[in-house]
């Protein structure tokens, strides 16, 4: 009887030590295995780019446009409008596009995120004075990790990128994300203004946004050997990651 007990005990010890010994690996298996991408040493993110010669032309055009027009304007604007003000304007535009995010959260079945977006919208519009202050995000720490849009929703449904497209002024996109942007446009209240006013408001929005991101494009260009490919790849990696979330 005693001998049996002892044998059982040793077996137990053996299994336990065995488990502990492999604990790290077993534990890691659970947490890391769903992103084994570090094992892919040679993967290249690909996107069909049949329009490449044309896209490169548009890319060149945008590059010139940025340095000759957009950047100087955004610079001038940033000298006139203080940074805090520009952040407030950026908050305002982020707030009025809440319907886009709420709907896309719902379309992806992210009920909780949809709720958070809707509540933030109400709080920011009231407590945050028309959304100029990010009351919900900054003061209440109520924040959705990821801004959802229709391109991501379509990706979530299993629709691929289609082809890569560089739009004049607007920059990198894909066929899917272009459709997404158009769809989301219907939920952007600015687009319900008269055409002239809508264009004006979008121009302000664009200039304001650029003024807060001056230098980023320059950085990418400075660290790239082929800026067109660098930005294409960064765009695709970035979107893929957002869709996975």
Partner 1 sequence: MRKCFIAFTSLLFLFLIASRGYCSDPMQQLRVTVDKVIEILKRPDLKSPDKEELKRKLLGEVISERFDFQEMARRALARHWRKRTDQERKEFVRLFRKLLERTYLRRIEQYSDERIIYKEERIDPPYAIVKTVVITRDSVEIPIDYRLMQRSNDWKVYDVIIEGVSLVNNYRKQFDRIIRSSSYKSLVDRLRKKVE
Binding test (CB under 8 A) with partner 1, winner from 56, 71, 87, 202? 87
241 contacts partner 1 (rule: CB under 8 A): yes
How many beta carbons lie within 10 A of that of residue 209, not counting itself?
Answer: 15
Provide, rounded to whole angstroms, the least separation between the CB of residue 87 and partner 1.
5
**By CB under 8 A, residue 25 contacts partner 1:** yes
Residue 191 touches partner 1, criterion: CB under 8 A: no
Q: In terms of DSSP H, where are the helices of 136-194?
A: 150-156, 175-185
Provide the 3-class DSSP secondary structure of residue 159: coil
Instruction: Candidates 15, 28, 111, 214: give the one binding partner 1 (CB under 8 A).
Output: 28
Structure token pair of residue 149: 């849009």
CB under 8 A: which stretch of 35-43, 108-116, 162-170, 178-186 binds partner 1? 35-43
- How far is Cα 194 from Cα 238, in angstroms, rounded to an integer? 34
Number of residues this chain uses to bind partner 1 (CB under 8 A): 42
The owner of tokens 């959260």 is 105
Q: How far is the CB of 168 from partner 1 (least distance, A)?
A: 23
| Binding piece for partner 1, criterion CB under 8 A, among 34-42, 56-64, 103-111, 177-185 | 34-42
Structure-block tokens of residue 53: 């010669």
Among 3, 4, 43, 79, binds partner 1 (CB under 8 A): 43
Q: Does 13 bind partner 1 (CB under 8 A)?
A: yes
Rounded to the nearest angstrom, the gap between the alpha carbon of residue 179 and the centroid of all alpha carbons in its chain is: 17
Q: Which of 61, 68, 85, 238 touches partner 1 by CB under 8 A?
A: 238
Q: What Å distances lie between residue 143 and 121, 123, 137, CA to CA?
A: 11, 12, 5
Stretch that binds partner 1, among 58-66, 70-78, 125-133, 226-234 (CB under 8 A): 226-234
**What residues from 99 to 128 belong to the interface with partner 1 (CB under 8 A)?**
none
Q: Kindly give, in sequence order, each residue whose CB lies less than 8 Å from that of residue 235, ignoring residues fewer than 6 positions away.
A: 164, 172, 173
Two tokens at 73? 């304007």
Q: Are 45 and 236 in contact (CB under 8 A)?
A: yes
Q: Does 237 bind partner 1 (CB under 8 A)?
A: yes
C-alpha 124/C-alpha 136 separation (Å) is 6
Q: Which residues bind partner 1 (CB under 8 A)?
A: 6, 9, 13, 16-17, 20-21, 23-25, 28-29, 31-33, 38, 41-45, 87, 134, 137-138, 145, 215, 219, 222-226, 229-230, 233-234, 237-238, 240-242
């Amino acid at each position: 009887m005693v001998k049996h007990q002892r044998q059982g005990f040793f077996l137990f010890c053996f299994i336990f030590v065995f488990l502990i010994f492999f604990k790290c690996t077993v534990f890691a298996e659970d947490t890391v295995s769903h992103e084994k991408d570090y094992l892919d040493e040679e993967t290249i993110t690909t996107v069909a780019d049949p329009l490449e010669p044309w896209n490169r032309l548009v890319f060149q055009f945008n590059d010139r446009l940025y340095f000759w027009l957009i950047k100087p304007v955004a610079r001038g604007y940033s000298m006139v409008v203080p940074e805090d003000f520009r952040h407030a304007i950026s908050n305002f535009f982020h707030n009025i596009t809440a319907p886009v995010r709420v709907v896309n959260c719902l379309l992806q079945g992210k009920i909780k995120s949809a709720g958070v977006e809707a509540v933030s919208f109400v709080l920011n519009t009231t407590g945050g004075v028309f959304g100029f202050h990010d009351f919900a995000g900054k003061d209440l720490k109520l924040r959705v990790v990821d801004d959802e849009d229709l391109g991501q929703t379509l990706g979530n449904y299993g629709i691929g990128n289609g082809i890569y497209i560089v739009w004049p002024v607007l920059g990198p996109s894909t066929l899917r994300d272009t459709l997404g942007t158009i769809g989301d446009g219907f939920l952007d209240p600015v687009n319900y203004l008269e055409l002239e006013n809508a264009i004006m408001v979008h121009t302000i929005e664009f200039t304001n946004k650029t003024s807060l991101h001056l230098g980023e494009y320059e950085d990418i260009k400075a660290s790239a050997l082929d800026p067109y490919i660098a930005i294409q790849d960064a765009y695709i990696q970035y979107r893929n990651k957002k869709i996975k979330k």
